[in-house]
Structure 1
């Protein structure tokens, strides 16, 4: 997100999506500041954003979505307007970007407003989404270019892992601190599933893998419980999950090639209210967050406690509203 007056541009924040490009930004978790983007690449992102704002003569807020592959920077889309991420960035940085944008639109210059832009260090902020798959019983449980989420939450912490943990919990997805994780994958993503298995194991989490994943195990390291769900009915998978006490399901499959077994595993998890991880990066983030939560006690803290109190607005000279009139 960025703010521009047509001449000067200030980047409000460079957010990194957890899910890979191809998942709608509204369905993707994101973190601010970024965790894996180099300073050199971040400088290129800022420079590109400034150039785009200048060429488009943007006056107000704008949002640019980039993709990075093999070190190359690609522009996916440019939105010369306020994006849904503006409230998130404002809370994360402690800067009211919408108020500043309004003043810019009304004719003020960013050069005069820069003294008001004082971002605070709030550690890491993570946005997580809420997708009500349980309400759409005939819909595929998958992520893709079509937005499915109906809401989002935010978690903050001193580390990425703590912030990710808070966001997961706030979105109604308890972390698998005391229970097994089922890891399933289609044939095309078995390699990524093995990486997820290794991460959960290193963090001390019990894992159960499907036969497709187990077939690619190193024989010297094949000590995980294996379940073959190939010919199981949906209701049988759901009953087994309940009996086995599954606390999280990791289901990896290409967006456009969801196989029948994966479709049943996901729908069974939704029916049992078991949290789902549908991408490798989300699963790894959950594992890291679970390890962090197991070693600390997460205390609730109001967002106002994370930054100095904002100065009271100056209403001098503003006419008093009649009694009974409210402005929201």
Structure 2
């Protein structure tokens, strides 16, 4: 069998299939599906619960293999996967989306980017986990990034869209039958929009969305289900962008996958309804339940799903979240509120240790935002020792903090890993908050060195602003710990009333 070739991209956090690999595995998968389909004399094939690859071969299974694809018609799947067709349909049904344009040349792309303003997002079709999707912040980066994106899927158009910074992202998991929405779940992201949904912390039911937003999200889900004539599971991402003039926040669809997502088990557990069971009934067209609004039920709990990262498996990669997925797993926990649920979820992560009061915390990153100051305001009263790698960060924190604090500047040998390890040990650094806006451009970038070595030394790293501030809030409210079993430790059945799935 042909060996799988993986290429490490130093500008991301992961390894990607090259184009030859993608085509090879699609061909292999198609042949094996058709072999099994014929051997079993199957009456149908399901392509909506196997991730991205079945979506890529769905149209071929139907048109070339003459297989009976259950659920959403592969021609409609193609209209969701092809970015040009997807965007045109959204326009036709009156569903808002970020400004976009199909790429035909670098010159046209540069003109469009100048019109809408940087940053912009380059997005190819039919790709897995955000592969080759890139946020571009300057004209200088545009040409190289566009060429890299076009190599991923040359048979499908590449679309460039306006990237809206500071927006909130919303996840919708749903099941439809013949274009009618049956059930749906609305989860909000803690992280800023632009972090891949697989790497994002999901909150369900949402803690910060008002009823008007929830109603509008449901209406969008209904329109999308009807426009693509969906039968079976689907997942959609929407961004909520504030109106600079104080009007109603805009809701813009950025993606819709006509398949089950990794959050299906999560929303099923939280809402006490087995989404895949409902999806199966829709796929086979039997005992399909009547439409039910699960989000209209008021609950006295919520749950968070947090990512598990394996940064140590990619030596030298910058631990930084973006539009390409980097996580390798996830944990979910319940709580009576967001702080309780997130506190429990993050401590469930492998090899995670909460920094104890009296130990050292190292700070770095962006100083034009209030992120680091907010974190310090939560932590300062707890008695941590505060450190920075340069005077600029020290002066910023001491000036911006609401508390009278002392931040010590420590030596930071960027080129000597062994010496840096000794520095971490000397100052008992047990937590790192490095909240940068972009990846380090070189291996000598102080923020990159701080993030990379926190990972390599086994020190908890917080490198995304919203989750960093939330965890600092958790530390403020939960430390020191009470004696005995913490209040957030309860059985799943206690939260949802013992209802089995």
> Which of these residues, 360, 365, 378, is aligned with residue 185 of structure 1?
365
> Which of these residues, 265, 270, 274, is aligned with residue 96 of structure 1?
274
Give the 3 Å change call, closer, same or farther, for CA 114–192 of structure 1 in structure 2. closer
Q: CA deviation at 1:247?
A: 2.4
SS for the counterpart of 1:63 is strand
SS for the counterpart of 1:181 is strand
Higher relative contact order (CA 8 A, sep 6+): 1
Give the 3 Å change call, closer, same or farther, for CA 219–305 of structure 1 in structure 2. closer
Deviates more, 1:102-111 or 1:135-144: 102-111
2:177 equivalent to 1:14: no
2:354 equivalent to 1:175: yes
Q: Contact conserved, 1:196 with 1:280, CA < 8 A, in 2?
A: no
Deviation digits for residues 3-59 of structure 1, max 9, x if unmatched?
Answer: 211343145321111111111111111111212222222221111111111111111
2:407 equivalent to 1:225: yes
Q: CA deviation at 1:114?
A: 4.5
SS for the counterpart of 1:78 is strand
Deviation digits for residues 221-244 of structure 1, max 9, x if unmatched?
Answer: 662222255654433332222222
SS for the counterpart of 2:176 is strand
SS for the counterpart of 1:3 is strand
Q: Which runs of 5+ in 1 are unaligned?
A: 313-328
Residue 307 of structure 1 corresponds to which residue in structure 2? 496
Q: TM-score, normalised by structure 2?
A: 0.57
Distance in 1 between residues matched to 2:174 and 2:399, nearest whole Å: 48
Q: Contact conserved, 1:65 with 1:76, CA < 8 A, in 2?
A: yes
> Which of these residues, 457, 463, 482, is aligned with residue 278 of structure 1?
463
User: How many correspondences in the alignment?
Assistant: 311
Distance in 1 between residues matched to 2:253 and 2:293, nearest whole Å: 31
Q: Contact conserved, 2:386 with 2:408, CA < 8 A, in 1?
A: no
Residue 3 of structure 1 corresponds to which residue in structure 2? 175
Residue 252 of structure 1 corresponds to which residue in structure 2? 435
> Which of these residues, 32, 40, 56, is aligned with residue 228 of structure 2?
56
Q: Contact conserved, 1:8 with 1:111, CA < 8 A, in 2?
A: no
> Which of these residues, 209, 214, 223, is aligned with residue 37 of structure 1?
209
2:474 equivalent to 1:289: yes
**1:123-138 superposed matches below 5 A:** 123-138=301-316
Give the 3 Å change call, closer, same or farther, for CA 206–48 of structure 1 in structure 2. farther
Q: Contact conserved, 1:248 with 1:276, CA < 8 A, in 2?
A: yes
Residue 325 of structure 1 corresponds to which residue in structure 2? none
Distance in 1 between residues matched to 2:184 and 2:206, nearest whole Å: 13
Distance in 2 between residues matched to 1:293 and 1:129, nearest whole Å: 21
Residue 320 of structure 1 corresponds to which residue in structure 2? none
Residue 44 of structure 2 corresponds to which residue in structure 1? none
Q: Which runs of 5+ in 2 are unaligned?
A: 1-172, 243-248
| Stretches of 4+ aligned residues off by more than 6 angstroms | 115-120
2:243 equivalent to 1:243: no
Distance in 1 between residues matched to 2:224 and 2:407, nearest whole Å: 53
**Larger-Rg structure:** 2
Deviates more, 1:160-169 or 1:100-109: 100-109
CA RMSD of aligned residues (A): 2.9
Residue 447 of structure 2 corresponds to which residue in structure 1? 262
Give the 3 Å change call, closer, same or farther, for CA 202–42 of structure 1 in structure 2. farther
Q: CA deviation at 1:308?
A: 4.2
Give the 3 Å change call, closer, same or farther, for CA 32–202 of structure 1 in structure 2. farther
